[in-house]
Structure 1
């Protein structure tokens, strides 16, 4: 069941992050990702980097320390879950990369 949910998360992430209608696919840049500030930074810069992140890095199995080194501190964290905001619509968060940990390693992730 967990494996099925993980596959669904990955498929959802791929569908949600596929560039459409003029939105360009950007390469993942760890420094640009970490420099992103809410909500004053380029509104969708993180969202556009997600396909590059998934193409360049296998998140599943990474330790928390490795993820934080790659992505910086999350915008929100609670009980084994880190949330990185991806974009804003006005003053509200309109997308997040949610990373779930079990035993200190990434066990799953999703775009919400």
Structure 2
């Protein structure tokens, strides 16, 4: 059975569009910038800046093993703090009205043992 040319071209164009959108989103992803992270305020134009920097943060900074002072130096004062967990608000995740949070968990010596990103 022979596939009509219009379908072949349509599939090719669709693949090119999907790959192009994926690549443009990856290129638009900002690098982690400690000063921008610490001074971020949630505005309409930068609503998801922290969220967008998360991939770069994880790739370029090994959070596990850092102490609380180093985390504060890198990320600033947490938005909320429990005895063993710092939480940073990430803003909107670009998935509807979902918001993100970075939770950093410390051991009894104040060393990062785990971290997670929550999309609520």
- Please list every run of 5 or more consecutive structure 2 residues that lacks an aligned counterpart in the other structure: 1-21
How far apart are the structure 2 equivalents of 1:88 and 1:94? 4
Contact 1:85-1:93 at 8 Å conserved across structures: no
Structure-2-length-normalised TM-score: 0.68
Between structures 1 and 2, the one with greater helix share: 2
Which of 36, 56, 62 in structure 1 is aligned with 2:40?
36
Structure-1-length-normalised TM-score: 0.72
Structure 1 residue 106 and structure 2 residue 75: aligned?
no
Identify the residue that residue 64 of structure 1 maps to in structure 2. 68
Between structures 1 and 2, the one with greater strand share: 1
- Please list every run of 5 or more consecutive structure 1 residues that lacks an aligned counterpart in the other structure: 1-19
Report which of the two structures shows the higher radius of gyration computed on alpha carbons: 2
How far apart are the structure 2 equivalents of 1:79 and 1:87? 23
Which of 81, 91, 95 in structure 1 is aligned with 2:100?
95
For residue 26 of structure 1, report the CA deviation from its aligned partner: 1.2
For residue 40 of structure 1, report the CA deviation from its aligned partner: 3.0
For residue 69 of structure 1, report the CA deviation from its aligned partner: 0.2
Contact 2:105-2:114 at 8 Å conserved across structures: yes
How far apart are the structure 2 equivalents of 1:84 and 1:64? 13
How far apart are the structure 1 equivalents of 2:81 and 2:24? 33
Aligned length: 90
Deviation >6 Å, runs of 4+: none
